[in-house]
Structure 1
Amino acid sequence: MQYTHLGRTALMVSRVCLGTLNLGIRASDEESYAILDTALERGVNFVDTANQYGWQKHKGYTEEFLGSWFAQGGRRREKTVLGTKVFNPMSDWPNESGLSARHIIASCEDSLRRMRTDWIDLFQMHHIDRHAPWEEVWQAMETLTRQGKVRYVGSSNFAGWHIAEAQEAATRRHFLGIVSEQSVYNLVTRHIELELIPAAQRYGVGVLAWSPLHGGLLGGALRKLADGTAMKTAQGRAAQALERHRDAITGYEKLCADLGTDPAEVGLAWVMQRPGITAPVIGPRSLDQLEGAFRALELTLPDEALTELDTLFPPIGNGGPGPEAWAW
């Protein structure tokens, strides 16, 4: 397994982050435990979840599932860099959503209870809260870190200027602030190259890429639809995007076939090779999908393939960061 520092911190995390959205939901309990155990055995020490995951059964279910895995012993919890999130509503009751100090602290305590742990390694703000002043947010996060309940703070779905604003506020308080940002990033969705990634690099914030295969669109969508084996590809974000990008996906799958490599592995390898990316957040539903992520770690895409991928899925504007992406 390859490891890297999480942003500017001394914390070491695997170059693959195991997302848990499908565990106990699209994967059976037995297979979900096998995925977690196999990932840990292969050196994946970074696991990501959120307080609302598992909403198909009830909000908080996935955190409870992780708690049952940690309870099996074998130093599972001690070996795991555990990330969860706060922001989304956990009920219809006021003050049980957003980034108020009250909700941040209460949500952390609820997550700790569900996951049967004493600490969260990476407590991530799941979305910007435009009503929460940074003084309030950082006061709550400082309280949790002083209590030993949170080790590091991260963000998710922030804009580049949110990172800058948050970090400047944290610096004024002599607080570490944000160490990671989790954003949607893949060949189809490259918006964060304009300002988010440059801001993250400037402030020493690691970038975690969620939906690195765009909900399965880059995982052999056309082949799976033809074979009748499509699951995520036939619904949601991937299904909506398929018609818009059918020609590009056709060319992409041909390129992958020419390389003799599975499309999912090519999509993950592309993300891993991008500047500023700490790790993709993968969401395997099976051990086979997990093994594909391990193979992607060992895959180096040749320059010719990278050039063709840029042709099939052009970067925004002139490419690279703003303002050069849209100006001289």
Structure 2
Amino acid sequence: MEYTNLGRTGLTVSRLCLGTMNFGPQTSEPDSFAIMDRALERGVNFFDTADVYGWQTGEGVTEQIIGRWFAQGGGRREKVVLATKVYGKMGDWPNEQGLSARHIVRACEDSLRRLQTDTIDLYQMHHVSRSTPWEEIWQAMETLVAQGKVLYVGSSNFAGWHLGQAQAAAQQRNFLGLVSEQCIYNLMTRHVELEVVPAAQHYGLGIIPWSPLHGGLLAGVLRKMEQGGAARSTSGRAAEGLTENRAAIEAYESFCAELGHDPADVGLAWLLARPGVTAPIIGPRTAEQLDASLGALDVRLDEKALSRLDELFPPVGKGGPGPEAWAW
């Protein structure tokens, strides 16, 4: 396993992050336990979840599964850098969602209880709140840090200017502020390169890409369809993406075959080579899928390969950060 620091912090995390969104809805509890055990065996120490995962309002199904896994002991909790999130709807009353100080503090207490732990290593805001002042958000986070219930704070799905706002407010309070930004980022979705990634690099935030294979479209979807699989990638948003980008995906899978690597490994390896990226989130539904994902760590893409991938999936505008991406 390869490790790196999470942004500007001294915290060491694996270069792939175990996403747990499937635990409960897609993956049974015993299978979820097996995946987490295998992750530790393979050196993956960075786990990501959220209070809303499990998609039963207020239940925190996925967090509960992780908590019961921790409760088995054996050093499980001590070995894991645990990340969860706050923002989503956790009840029907007005203050059971968002980023008010009231909800942040209560949601943290609830997550700690479900996760059966005393501390959340990385507490992430799942979305920006346009109705809550940063002074209120940081006051709540500072309280949780002072109490030892949270160690680091991250964001998710923020725009670049939101990162700037957050850090400016934190600096005024002499608070560490954000240490990471979790955003959708893959070969087919590159708009974060315009402002989010440059802002994150400027402020020393680690980028944690979610949906690194764009719902399976970059994981060999056409080959799997021929073999009778890829059901997940042929429905919903992924199905629309397949229709719109079929030619590029066909060329991508052919190019991966030329390289001698699985398309999923190439897609993850591309992200691992991007500036500012700490750890793409992988979301295996089985222990075997976890093992397969780790193959990306052995893939090294040279400049010629990276240029070809840019041709197949062009960056936004002229490429790189704004304003140069759209102006002279």
Q: Is the CA contact (8 Å cut-off) linking 1:212 and 1:268 kept in structure 2?
A: yes
How far apart in 2 are the matches of 1:30 and 1:143? 36
Look up the match of 1:42: 42
Look up the match of 1:68: 68
CA apart distance, 1:98: 0.4
How far apart in 2 are the matches of 1:237 and 1:117? 36
What's the secondary structure of 2:278's corresponding residue?
strand
Look up the match of 1:283: 283
State the Cα deviation string for residues 42-78 of structure 1 (Å, max 9, x = none): 1111000000001169740000000010011111001
Look up the match of 1:94: 94
Distance 1:227 1:57, change over 3 A: farther
Look up the match of 1:108: 108
State the Cα deviation string for residues 136-169 of structure 1 (Å, max 9, x = none): 0000000100110000000000000100110000
Q: CA RMSD in A?
A: 1.1
Equivalenced residues, count = 328
What's the secondary structure of 2:254's corresponding residue?
helix
**1:288-303 matches, cutoff 5 A:** 288-303=288-303
Look up the match of 1:309: 309
Look up the match of 1:137: 137
Unaligned runs of 5+ in 1: none
How far apart in 1 are the matches of 2:159 and 2:57? 31
State the Cα deviation string for residues 22-44 of structure 1 (Å, max 9, x = none): 12322232222111001111111
CA apart distance, 1:231: 2.7
Greater mean deviation of Cα atoms: 304-313 or 177-186: 304-313
Look up the match of 1:322: 322
Q: Is the CA contact (8 Å cut-off) linking 1:214 and 1:237 kept in structure 2?
A: no
Q: Is the CA contact (8 Å cut-off) linking 1:269 and 1:300 kept in structure 2?
A: yes
Unaligned runs of 5+ in 2: none
Structure 1 length normalisation: TM-score? 0.98
Q: Is the CA contact (8 Å cut-off) linking 1:25 and 1:56 kept in structure 2?
A: no
How far apart in 1 are the matches of 2:30 and 2:235? 25
Q: Is the CA contact (8 Å cut-off) linking 2:58 and 2:91 kept in structure 1?
A: no
Structure 1 residue 152 corresponds to structure 2 residue 152: yes
State the Cα deviation string for residues 170-227 of structure 1 (Å, max 9, x = none): 0000000000000000000000100001000000011100000001110111111222
Look up the match of 1:204: 204
Q: Is the CA contact (8 Å cut-off) linking 1:318 and 1:325 kept in structure 2?
A: yes
Structure 2 length normalisation: TM-score? 0.98
How far apart in 2 are the matches of 1:58 and 1:146? 26
Look up the match of 1:163: 163
State the Cα deviation string for residues 288-320 of structure 1 (Å, max 9, x = none): 221122110111012222111101100001100
The residue identity in structure 2 corresponding to 1:266 is V
How far apart in 1 are the matches of 2:27 and 2:279? 23
How far apart in 2 are the matches of 1:302 and 1:200? 25
How far apart in 1 are the matches of 2:231 and 2:19? 18
CA apart distance, 1:238: 1.5
The residue identity in structure 2 corresponding to 1:217 is L
Structure 1 residue 9 corresponds to structure 2 residue 18: no
Look up the match of 2:270: 270
Greater mean deviation of Cα atoms: 132-141 or 285-294: 285-294
What's the secondary structure of 1:85's corresponding residue?
strand
